[in-house]
Amino acid sequence: MDSTSSLKASIEIPTIKELQKKNIPAHVAIIMDGNGRWAKKRKLPRIAGHRAGVKALISVVETCVELGIKFLTVYSFSIENWQRPQEEVKGLMRLFRRAISEQLDALSKNGVKLKLIGSEESIPSEVFKSFKDAEHRTKDNKKLTLNIAFNYGSRQEIVNAVKRICDNVKKNKLKVEELDENILSSFLYTGKIPDPDLLIRTSGELRISNFLLWQIAYTELYFTKTLWPDFRREQFLGAIHNYQRRNRRFGNL
């Protein structure tokens, strides 16, 4: 898929009101990729790219609220990311806490509900507490649920779901013959949240990177060369417009 900038060269991006007249995705997922390359191009430390990435996320969240999108799931930190240089990891932990502290009031005012999805193991206690406090403060908000995939890996998510199902079978809370796709889905981190309608990946990479493997079985995929810190309102609207021009068949003719 070509970048949004290339898309705009041939197709005018509609306004919010124009987009709202067509099918708005209920759930959008984003692999926010390219922070490091963005910083490198500007001869800045990698953490500067991550800071710029927070601004991009805020822009996209605000646009989701305007459009009426109900769920936004972003891949912020994978299980594999712990293998990065410790200086970068520590900087990211500080950035997560600061971003939550600085943005929480604005997010709550806009009706955004925060939810942490991922393994709670290995998350530093102060970072985990910040997430949980944010979840509690925003639990009654209704406009948009922002799922932050942190310490997340989809294969681990599926394995954990299977373990929990097995435990329920052992305790006679669930019968094997009752198991179906809906029940397995309910044991995932995303729980009863609908599967994504659209998955966006920035930076030009063409892979899923162990993100929502079960949930994206019939999700529309959108790849753009735009680096994540440069992906703002206009680029997001371009992705939504592209989604609306597709014919989703879900295996049918």
CA dist 216 and 197 (Å) reads: 8
Over residues 162-174, the mean pLDDT reads: 97
pLDDT confidence band for 155 (50 / 70 / 90): very high
Which of 161, 155, 156, 154 lies closest to 212 in space, CA to CA? 154
Which of 105, 9, 19, 97 lies closest to 64 in space, CA to CA? 19
pLDDT digits 0-9 by tens, 16-31: 999 999 999 999 999 9
pLDDT confidence band for 11 (50 / 70 / 90): low
| pLDDT of the residue at 5 | 45
CA dist 68 and 55 (Å) reads: 20
Q: Is the dihedral of CA 138, 141, 145, 146 positive or negative?
A: negative
* Better-predicted residue by pLDDT, 60 or 251: 60
Q: Where are the domains of the chain?
A: 4-11+25-155+190-244
| pLDDT of the residue at 253 | 63
Which of 150, 144, 74 lies closest to 109 in space, CA to CA? 144
Task: Give me the CATH code for the 4-11+25-155+190-244 domain, please.
Answer: 3.40.1180.10
The set of catalytic residues is 33, 81
**Region of residue 131 (left: phi > 0; alpha: psi -120 to 50; beta: else):** alpha
Q: Kindly state the tokens that stand for 170.
A: 């052992």
| pLDDT of the residue at 244 | 96
DSSP string for 25-63: -SEEEEE---HHHHHHHTT--HHHHHHHHHHHHHHHHHH
Q: What is the mean pLDDT of the chain?
A: 94
pLDDT digits 0-9 by tens, 85-116: 999 999 999 999 999 999 999 999 999 999 99
pLDDT at 252 exceeding the cut of 90? no
Q: Cα 204 vs. chain centroid, distance in angstroms?
A: 17
pLDDT at 178 exceeding the cut of 60? yes
Neighbour tally for 230: CB within 10 Å? 19
| pLDDT of the residue at 21 | 94
| pLDDT of the residue at 192 | 84
